Structure 1
C-alpha cells in the first residue's frame, strides 16, 4: 500500500500518524490526571514526580508527532468525503480535525514552555535537556503557559470526544466506511478513482478552528494572575526593617540555593533579604568585621514547587517566616570566611561561609558558596529518601556593597 494519500484512500503514513498520535495522547492524558490527583506528601511524591515525568516526556513526543502530522496533512490531498452532499457535517468534521491538529501543537508546547520557564518538579526524560531556546526563566511566562495548557487541554478533550462520537455515528448509525478507511485503508466505496478529485478542504473549517483558539488564547491571558516581575536579584534593601548600623550598604545582590530533586537540579532564590555589614578592609588577619543577614522566607521561589517549599514539611513559613545568619567576618592567608550561626526553621547550627571579595575604591563585590544539610534544620523530615529530595543544599550569595 502506498505511503501517500490518494483521492479515495488514506496512505499508510497518514494512518500510522493517526494511530500513533492517538496512542500517545490517550496515554499522556490519564498519566497527567492521575499525577495531578496525587498529593505532594512523602508517601506519594516519588510516584507523582515519576508519572509527571512520563506525562511530560510523552507530551514532547506528541508535539513532534503533531507537527509532523500537520506538515504531512498540508502536503497531502485529503481523500474525498464519503458524504460530500452533507456540507454542514463535512465542515464541522474538518473543523474538529483542525482543532485536534492545533491541540497537538499548542497543548504539549505550552506544557513544555511552562517546564522550561521554571525549575522544579519532574524532569523530561528525553536526552535533550530541560530548557527550550528563547524561553527564559520567568514566573510570569510560566503562569501564562500553565493557563494556556490548562485551557487548551479542555479544548483538546472536547475535540477528541467529538471525533470519537462522530466515528461511532458513522460506524454504527450510518454504517459507512469512515472507521475502516483509517483502520484498514479501504477505498471509498462506490467511487471510481477516475471520478474522484483530490480534496484539500475549504478555508472555513480552518478559520472556525482558529477563531476558537484565538478566543481561548485571550481567555488564557485573562486567566493569568498578575505576578511580581522583579528579578530574583532584587535589591537586598527590600527586606530591611531597621536602619543598618554597619559601615557598608548593600546595593544589590542575589541569594539563591540549589537542591537535587528526583535526580535533577532545581534552583531557587529569595527575593527579600537584608545584610547589615561592618567590615574593615585594612585587617588582613583575624576578625575583620561582622555581618547579620535576615532572610524573608516567604519570598522564596522554587519554580513549580514554590508553594510546597513554603509548607510545613519544608520552610514552614507560617510558623518560621524568617531566617538569620549572624557571623564574624574573618580574614587570613586562606582567604575570607563568615563564621557564625544560622537560625532556620527553629534550629540553630554553626555555619562557615567561604567567600571571595574584591574592593575597588569604595565598592565591594562579594561571592560565596556553602553546602548545608537540610536534615540539620528539620526541612523535609518526611522525605528520608535522598533519591526523592537531596540532603545537600547548595547556597550561593553574591552582592555589591558601597562604603558609607
Structure 2
C-alpha cells in the first residue's frame, strides 16, 4: 500500500484525507443544526447550547486545516485516471462537484471563523490559540456579512455532498465499476488514456458560482470602508435643552459570559446636559440621558440580550438616567437614578472632565449589578452570565450658550 497516488489507484494518504474530512463535515453540519435549535431560557440550557456550539466551531476549524492539507496534497500529486474518459459530460460534472467541494471545505469554516472573530459572544473555539483572526476587526456589520455567507455556503456544501455521494453510488450500483472501491480500499483499476480533461473549465465554473454567491451577500452588506470608519456607537439626535450639546460619544458595557468578556453598546441615545464649571449650592448642573434599548448590540447574543429575560426591549424600549452633577475630589460625579426595565435604582457615575474653551470631553465608568434590575433571573449564578456589568461612557460636547 503506497502513500502516493498512481494512475490506477489512490494512495493511503489521499484516502485518509478523504474519509477524515467526510467524518468531520458530516459531524459538524448536524451539530450546528442541533446547536441552533437548542433553547437558552435557563442557565443550564445556555451552558449546554454554548458547549455544543463550541464543539461545532472547533470541528469546523479542524475541518478547515484538514481540507487545506487535502487540497495541497491533491494538487501537488497525481490523480488516478477516470474509468470512463469517453463520458466527457459526466467527467465535467464530476470535476465541477469536486471543485465545489474543495472550495466549500475551505470557505464554509472560514466564513464561520470570520463571524466568530468579528463579534463577541459565547461558545469559544476549544483551542489555546485565541479567539481572534488577524486582519479581522470587531464589527457587527462584518460579522453579519460573514454569518450570511456561512449560511449560504453551507447550502452549496450540502448540494455538493449530495451530488458527490450520488455520483459514487451511481458508479457502484449502476456502472458496477471500481470508482468507490478505489477510495474505500485502494483497489487498482485499469488505466485508460485521457485525451482531454475538463478540469480547468470546471474549476473556473466552480469559482464563478462561489463568486456569484459571495457577491450577492456583499451587495447587501455595508461597504468595507464604511465598516472600518463607523464608530461603535454614536449618540442619537440630541436635545436642544441644556447648555451643552453632545457631538460625539459612546455608551458601552461589558459583561462576563461563560467566563469570557462580551462587549456591548447602545447605538441610539441622547443627553440633555446643563453644566457650569462653578458650582452653585454645591451642584455643577444636571444631566438626563435617554437610551433606546432596542439599539443594543451584544455580539452574537444580541437577540438573547434584547429578550424578555434581560432588557425586554419590547416592553421597556427606553432606559433613563437622571442625575445631578456634583464635584468629587477634583473630578465630578453624576449622582442620580437609573430607570431600566421599569425599575429605579440609585446610580453614582464618577467621571473625569476636561474643558477647553467651548469643548468638553468626559469619561466615566460605573459597575452595575444586573440582579438589581431583575435581569437574567434564570441565570442565578455567574458560571454562565456574570452579575457585574461594567458601563463606560465617553463623550465630547460643545457649549451652546
TM-score where L is the length of structure 1: 0.90
The root-mean-square deviation of aligned C-alpha atoms, in Å, is: 2.6
Distance 2:349 2:245 in 1: 20
Report the CA distance shift for 1:380/1:108 in structure 2 as closer, same or farther (over 3 A): same
How far residue 25 of structure 1 moved from its aligned partner, in angstroms, is 0.6
**Which position in structure 2 is the counterpart of 1:322?**
318
Matched residue, 1:138? 139
Match for residue 203 of structure 2 among 201, 206, 222: 206
Deviation at 1:292, TM superposition (A): 1.5
Structure 1 residue matching 2:90: 3-state secondary structure: helix
Partner SS state of residue 216, structure 1: helix
**Could you tell me how far 1:254 is from its partner in structure 2?**
0.3
Are 1:402 and 2:401 matched, yes or no?
no
Q: Which moved more, 1:48-57 or 1:101-110?
A: 48-57
Of stretches 261-270 and 28-37 in structure 1, the one that deviates more from structure 2 is: 261-270
Structure 2 residue 200 is the aligned partner of structure 1 residue 168: no
SS at match of 2:387: strand
**1:283-341 CA deviation, whole Å, 9 max, x = no partner?**
59953322221111111111222222222111111111111111222223364222221
- Offset at residue 13 of structure 1 (A): 2.0
Cα gap change, 1:361 to 1:34, in 2 (>3 Å) = same
3-state SS in 1 of match to 2:390:
strand
Q: How far 1:222 sits from its partner (Å)? A: 5.3
| Deviation for aligned residue 1:234 | 4.6
Asked whether the 8 Å contact 2:233–2:251 carries over to 1, the reply is: no
| Structure 1 pair 105–200 and aligned structure 2 pair: CA distance change class (3 A) | farther
- Asked if residue 81 in structure 1 is aligned to residue 77 in structure 2, the reply is no
SS at match of 1:35: helix
Aligned to 2:358: 362
Q: Secondary structure at the match of 1:318?
A: coil
In structure 2, stretches of 5+ residues that fail to align are none
Instruction: Specify the alignment match of 1:72 in structure 2.
Output: 73
Q: Which residue does 2:129 correspond to in 1? A: 128
22-31 vs 114-123, which deviates more?
114-123
Preserved contact between residue 6 and residue 198 of structure 1 (Cα < 8 Å): no
Q: Distance in 2 between matches of 1:234 and 1:225?
A: 16
Cα displacement (A) at 1:219? 3.4
C-alpha contact 2:233 2:265 (8 A) present in aligned 1: no
8 Å CA contact 1:80, 1:197 repeated in 2: yes
Instruction: Give TM-score, length-normalised by structure 2.
Output: 0.91
Q: Structure 1 270/231 Cα, relative in aligned 2: closer, same or farther at 3 Å?
A: farther
User: Which string of whole-angstrom CA distances, capped at 9 and with x for unpartnered residues, describes residues 109-129 of structure 1?
Assistant: 111112222222422222222
Contact 1:250 1:400 in 2 (8 A): yes
Deviation at 1:107, TM superposition (A): 0.8
Shift in alpha-carbon separation, 1:197–1:216, aligned structure 2, 3 A: same
Shift of 1:3: 2.6
| Residues 312-351 of structure 1 aligned to structure 2 (within 5 Å) | 312-333=308-329, 335-351=331-347
Consecutive unaligned residues in structure 1, runs of 5 or more: none
> In the alignment, is the contact (CA less than 8 A) between 1:285 and 1:330 conserved in 2?
no
Do residues 182 (structure 1) and 183 (structure 2) align?
yes
**1:220 paired residue number:** 217
> Equivalent residue for 2:298?
302
Cα deviation for residue 403 of structure 1 reads 2.4
Tell me, what secondary structure is at the counterpart of 1:280?
strand
| Alpha-carbon distance between aligned partners in 2 of 1:285 and 1:333, rounded to the nearest angstrom | 17
SS in 2 for 1:128: coil
1: CA distance, partners of 2:160 / 2:359: 61
Aligned to 2:39: 39
SS of residue matched to 1:303: coil
- Cα distance, 1:35–1:278 mapped onto 2, change above 3 Å: same
The number of aligned residues is: 397
State the partner residue of 1:379.
Answer: 375
Instruction: Give me the whole-angstrom Cα distance separating, in 1, the residues matched to 2:283 and 2:51.
Output: 49
Deviates more, 1:4-13 or 1:362-371: 4-13
